[in-house]
């Protein structure tokens, strides 16, 4: 995707080739696929910028440390839809264009339609971590945006090339959102056709999770079925990324509930256990990889199994047939 957002860090910082003098932004999680650019100024302020140009979206990861509030110029060359996740900050980040001013709050995310022009991003003192991405509003074909009510006004502004900024409601960045962003930064590392598919899927997952968070915070009347659906969706998401390596004991930290409680709520709604849910999605992933790779060995490792024998045993137990029998059955249909 063509770059259209430019952060004028060079106006306040000097690019540096060695990180020896840095004290505040080392040790942060990096985007593996993007080369980090480090900056520092005479006041001891520091910055780290990483950007990745995907086919359908453009990612930005920005870490800052400042001794005082610092306004940084932002140039937008083309109207797009932007997602902002303030993962760490001592206070709100201000987004200013002409007479419009918006706040990006700590530990919260939001979406914005940004028309072309010059902006100011004013960062608070201390440490700030901002993860963002932007994408074309054309991703939503006519009427498809109705499934994402919080984006409808932004998509309409994009289609009409409105000259004013439009901001969605903001939402809480919880453990699941942080895990999804961390996975994106960690796994986005191979330059081939699969990386574009992975990136597209992860951006869609973030959009879906944003929709879920906004529903939770602004619309829902809580009952157990909502939690059960969230747990099921998290298991599906985790299996798609981590395969066999995903364990159900990761769920309590994400939902702040015990595994026993989550299991009871889930079974009351769906009628089967969390273990059966994990098995279902892992089998679905195994079948998908078998069809894509046509090879049990490659499918086994793609799903995170340590051996073909372990993969074959799981597949037979979960589906009642061997991987070879499954492929022969599909090819014969």
Tens-digit pLDDT profile for residues 194-226: 788 888 889 999 999 999 999 888 877 667 888
Both tokens assigned to 146? 């109705």
Half-sphere exposure of 167 (CA within 13 A, CB side): 16
Helix (H, G, I), strand (E, B) or coil at 301: helix
pLDDT digits (tens, 9 = 90+) for 87-138: 999 999 999 999 899 999 999 999 999 999 999 999 999 999 999 999 887 7
Domain residue ranges of the chain, discontinuous segments joined by +: 5-177, 221-333
**Tokens encoding 265:** 């709520």
137 three-class SS: helix
Does pLDDT of 144 surpass 90?
no
Q: What value does the mean pLDDT take over residues 62-81? A: 95
Close Cβ partners of 241 (under 8 Å, ≥ 6 residues apart): 183, 187
Q: According to the CATH classification, is domain 221-333 in 1.10.10.60?
A: yes
| The pLDDT value given to residue 207 | 92
Residue 127 near residue 96 (C-beta atoms within 8 A): no
- Assign domain 5-177 to its CATH superfamily: Jelly Rolls (2.60.120.10)
Q: How far apart are the first and last CA of the chain?
A: 40
Q: C-alpha angle 240/243/244, rounded to 5°?
A: 155
Whether 140 has a pLDDT exceeding 80, the answer reads no
* pLDDT at residue 333, as a whole number: 54
**CA 227, chain centre distance (Å):** 20
pLDDT per residue as tens digits for the range 148-164: 889 999 999 999 999 99
Please state, as a whole number, how many other Cβ atoms lie within 10 Å of the Cβ of residue 319.
Answer: 15
pLDDT for 255-273, tens place per residue? 989 999 999 999 999 999 9
Q: 236-252 burial, b for 16+ CB within 10 Å, e for fewer?
A: bbbbbbbbbebebebbe
Please report how the helices 323-332 and 308-319 are oriented relative to each other, as an axis angle in degrees rounded to 10. 60
Say whether pLDDT at 168 is over 60: yes
């Amino acid at each position: 995707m063509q770059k259209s957002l430019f952060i004028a860090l060079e106006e306040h910082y000097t690019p540096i080739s060695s990180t020896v003098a840095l004290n505040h932004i080392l040790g942060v999680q990096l985007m593996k696929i993007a080369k980090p650019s480090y900056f520092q100024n005479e006041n001891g302020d520091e910055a780290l910028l990483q950007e990745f140009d995907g086919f359908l979206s453009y990612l930005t990861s920005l870490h800052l440390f400042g001794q005082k509030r610092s306004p940084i110029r932002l140039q937008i060359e083309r109207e797009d839809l932007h997602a902002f996740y303030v993962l760490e900050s001592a206070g709100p980040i201000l987004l200013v264009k002409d007479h419009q001013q918006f706040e990006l709050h700590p530990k919260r995310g939001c979406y914005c339609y940004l028309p072309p022009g010059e902006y100011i991003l004013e960062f608070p003192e201390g440490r700030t971590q901002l993860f963002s991405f932007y994408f074309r509003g054309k991703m939503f074909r006519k009427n498809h945006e109705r499934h994402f009510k919080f984006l409808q006004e932004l998509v309409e502004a994009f289609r009409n090339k409105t000259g004013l900024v439009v901001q969605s409601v903001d939402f809480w960045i919880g453990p699941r959102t942080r895990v999804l962003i961390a996975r994106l930064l960690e796994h986005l590392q191979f330059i081939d056709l699969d990386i574009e598919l992975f990136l597209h899927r992860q951006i869609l997952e973030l959009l879906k999770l944003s929709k879920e968070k906004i529903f939770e915070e602004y619309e829902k009347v809580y009952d157990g079925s909502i939690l059960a659906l969230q747990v099921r969706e998290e298991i599906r998401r985790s299996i798609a990324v981590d395969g066999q390596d995903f364990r159900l004991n990761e769920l309590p930290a994400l939902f702040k509930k015990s595994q026993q409680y989550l299991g009871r709520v889930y079974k009351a709604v769906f009628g089967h256990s969390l273990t059966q849910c994990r098995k279902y999605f892992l089998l679905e992933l195994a079948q998908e990889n078998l069809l894509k790779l046509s090879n049990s060995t490659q499918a086994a490792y793609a799903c995170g199994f340590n051996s073909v024998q372990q993969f074959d045993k799981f597949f037979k137990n979960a589906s009642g047939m061997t991987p070879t029998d499954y492929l022969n059955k599909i090819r014969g249909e």
